[in-house]
Structure 1
Amino acid sequence: MTPPTVDVHAHVLLPEVDALVAGLPGHAEARELDTRRNGPAALAVSGPMVRERLPGLTEAGVRLAAMDARGVDVQLVSPSPSHYHYWADEETAEKLYRLANEATAAHCSAAPDRLRGLGLVPLQHPEQTVRALDHALELGLAGVELSSHAPGRELSDPAHEPFWSRAVETGAILFLHPFGCTLDERLDQWYLSNTVGQPTENAVALSHLIFSGVLDRHPGLRLIAAHGGGYLPTHIGRSDHAWSARSDAGAGCAHPPSSYLKRLYFDSLVHDPHVLRELIRVAGADRVLLGSDFPFDMGTEDPVGALRAARLSDADFHAVRGGNAAALLRKD
């Protein structure tokens, strides 16, 4: 039986979350940092782009019509990463994740057979993340979305161990999607904040999970890395060399870093069929899932066509197109 076409990288914008944080202490400073990181030219383009695509980001009917036009049967819908708000204090963070989870679940309820949702967790407050994950799952969401780090706290931080354990215990899907890059103003021209920043953050975050031993301690994690995992899969040989050549690099994980790629999942959004073939070679065809970044301009309007351009075998094509994701969603 031919599997459905499943897009695991699609976003929803939640006006309720924007209204919650507007005017709160810390919000203005976070916006100023975002402005510095992106630069004025990028913001001048991004503002109109988001306004133009707002119906697809907020209206389920528009989303479903776009899915039909692109040949997509099911979307895994995650909040816009602009909703992370890792600057928020404990009280605000709890209100925020509950509101984001509820609003995402409501959006997906318009077509529960075609839209599956992900919630949010406040990585800046590790003591809340298990509760936030449980709340998302109680609402029928498939799991949660998280960024590459929170200010002053990497994904390798021991404080996150209960969260990883709970994610394995529940079978939750985790979607790793960076927002912003700590290279800051070095990337404030030519949209380098996204084109270089996002794949860099992916590579750093995944390296923290690998080299720290998180994936050794929690081998059952079901984590999908956006943007094909960034730079890491195509440069994993350098990580393997460091692991074998240096005692400090090899101290935290039990196996060569490349072996952990086969424990992770990656979306197909790499914008180059040759890179996609390499991702499939190093991670395995059973670990790559279709992704479009709907409806943003850094995504693809024809995810199936982009996949077809990689000229995979029929079995691998159908696995990436939807078979792998359908199996993953059936388990959640």
Structure 2
Amino acid sequence: MISTPLAQGVIDVHAHWLPAELFGLPPGAPYGRMHDRDGQLHLGDIPLSIPTRAMSDVPAILEDMRTAGVGVRVLSAPPFAFPVGGMPGAGAFVSAFNDALSVVVSDADGRLVGLGMASLDDSDETRAQMERLAGTDGIAGIAIPPLLADRSLDRGILRHILTDAVDLNLAVLVHPMQLPRPEWSEHYLPNLIGNPVESATAVAALLLGGIKEELPGLRICFVHGGGCAPGLLGRWTHGWHTRADVRRHSTRPPDEVFGELFFDSVTHDPALLGLLAAHASGAGVVCGSDYPFDMAQPDPVRFATDHGPDAGTLTANARAFLGL
């Protein structure tokens, strides 16, 4: 629910924030706790290549917005804070994050908007948490992972979240978790390959699972330009037309539904952003930064407007995603 008018300017829908008191992360977090080491933020033993204050300090976020020409920034938790461990105590972490986020955005004079989180192992608890988010001023929706165990958006708790999001008028941001695999153990490949593959898997599950057809009011955005999805859309559509097992859960081909989804501009490739804009239609691309990570788009507004829609269209698209 957003009652305060937003500040003027381009809206960055993809940025991260976590208060320092929650750097311990939820119980069962797969990478270990976040912590400061000589001013630099670490995740377990992994250096995140960013100053610690960039993640938790609101004045640092606002200063970065001024430098980048961002009018409004939409904050969500870093993906390794998603409560995917399924361990006791995760609900308390979720509540603490959502409460802290609501304070931050309510004090920002329309410059910050929040996307909360919810537990991922109990549909009743998740629903109750989402109802609280829907009634919290400054919170526009929820951020979720694209995969949970062996399921994506078309099954299990993630599927329930999408249904509840429509019912409660919440936007949904889908962010990959950089899940490790043995063949990606070097070269930062869990991020460079894993993140785009996770996102593409979720987009495919949504399209081929018929979710948007069942939930036409769903406002859902995939970060990093949808990962591999723009380059695979033609293949998915060909498979839908030629194989009964591919189309058995949907009534419309993927290339017809793709334009009803939202995708951010963090592609790091002008040609890929152009392809995404062509597939997603003018209404489907929104500006993103991925602040404050090292894989962020360093000049998000300029990159998006140079190679995608103009600033007015980006802002209108983001407002539509947020439900304004």
Q: Shared fold (TM-score greater than 0.5)?
A: yes
Counterparts of 2:158 and 2:63 in 1: how far apart (Å)? 39
Contact 2:143 / 2:173 at 8 angstroms: preserved in 1?
yes
1:62 matched to 2:60? The reply is yes
Among 8, 11, 29, the alignment partner of 1:6 is 11
Contact 1:3 / 1:322 at 8 angstroms: preserved in 2?
no
Greater CA deviation, 144-153 or 218-227? 144-153
* Equivalence for 1:31: 31
In the superposition, relative to structure 1, how do residues 45 and 93 fare at CA in structure 2: closer, same or farther (>3 Å)?
closer
In the superposition, relative to structure 1, how do residues 272 and 49 fare at CA in structure 2: closer, same or farther (>3 Å)?
same
More helix by share: 1
3-state SS, counterpart of residue 310 of structure 2: helix
1:255 matched to 2:252? The reply is yes
Give the drift of 1:155. Answer: 1.8
* Equivalence for 1:241: 238
Contact 1:173 / 1:222 at 8 angstroms: preserved in 2?
yes
Counterparts of 1:49 and 1:20 in 2: how far apart (Å)? 19
3-state SS, counterpart of residue 196 of structure 1: helix
In the superposition, relative to structure 1, how do residues 137 and 326 fare at CA in structure 2: closer, same or farther (>3 Å)?
same
3-state SS, counterpart of residue 153 of structure 1: coil
Counterparts of 2:43 and 2:20 in 1: how far apart (Å)? 19
The code of the aligned residue for 1:123 comes to L
1:299 matched to 2:296? The reply is yes
Counterparts of 1:48 and 1:158 in 2: how far apart (Å)? 31
Give the drift of 1:48. Answer: 5.4
Give the drift of 1:59. Answer: 1.3
Counterparts of 1:110 and 1:319 in 2: how far apart (Å)? 26
Among 77, 84, 97, the alignment partner of 2:94 is 97
Contact 2:284 / 2:317 at 8 angstroms: preserved in 1?
yes
1:77-112 superposed Cα distances (whole Å, 9 cap, x missing partner): 1111111131133x4222121111112222223314
Give the drift of 1:319. Answer: 4.0
Counterparts of 2:163 and 2:48 in 1: how far apart (Å)? 41
Contact 2:74 / 2:112 at 8 angstroms: preserved in 1?
yes
* Equivalence for 1:15: 20
Unaligned runs of 5+ in 2: 1-6, 33-41
Counterparts of 2:170 and 2:131 in 1: how far apart (Å)? 9
Give the drift of 1:31. Answer: 2.6
Among 81, 84, 87, the alignment partner of 2:82 is 84
* Equivalence for 1:286: 283
* Equivalence for 1:115: 112
In the superposition, relative to structure 1, how do residues 48 and 164 fare at CA in structure 2: closer, same or farther (>3 Å)?
closer
Counterparts of 2:48 and 2:19 in 1: how far apart (Å)? 17
The code of the aligned residue for 1:277 comes to G
The code of the aligned residue for 1:168 comes to V
1:325 matched to 2:323? The reply is no
Counterparts of 2:18 and 2:24 in 1: how far apart (Å)? 12
- Please, what TM-score do these two structures have when normalized by structure 2? 0.88
3-state SS, counterpart of residue 47 of structure 2: helix
Among 161, 168, 171, the alignment partner of 1:170 is 168
Unaligned runs of 5+ in 1: 33-41
1:211 matched to 2:216? The reply is no
Counterparts of 1:75 and 1:116 in 2: how far apart (Å)? 6
* Equivalence for 2:38: none
* Equivalence for 2:35: none
The code of the aligned residue for 1:5 comes to V
Give the drift of 1:43. Answer: 7.4
Contact 1:124 / 1:153 at 8 angstroms: preserved in 2?
no
Give the drift of 1:134. Answer: 1.4
Contact 1:268 / 1:288 at 8 angstroms: preserved in 2?
yes
Counterparts of 1:328 and 1:247 in 2: how far apart (Å)? 32
Contact 1:199 / 1:231 at 8 angstroms: preserved in 2?
yes
Counterparts of 2:284 and 2:219 in 1: how far apart (Å)? 10
Give the drift of 1:56. Answer: 2.2
In the superposition, relative to structure 1, how do residues 3 and 244 fare at CA in structure 2: closer, same or farther (>3 Å)?
farther
**May I ask how many residue pairs the two structures share in their alignment?**
309
Greater CA deviation, 152-161 or 290-299? 152-161
Counterparts of 1:230 and 1:56 in 2: how far apart (Å)? 25
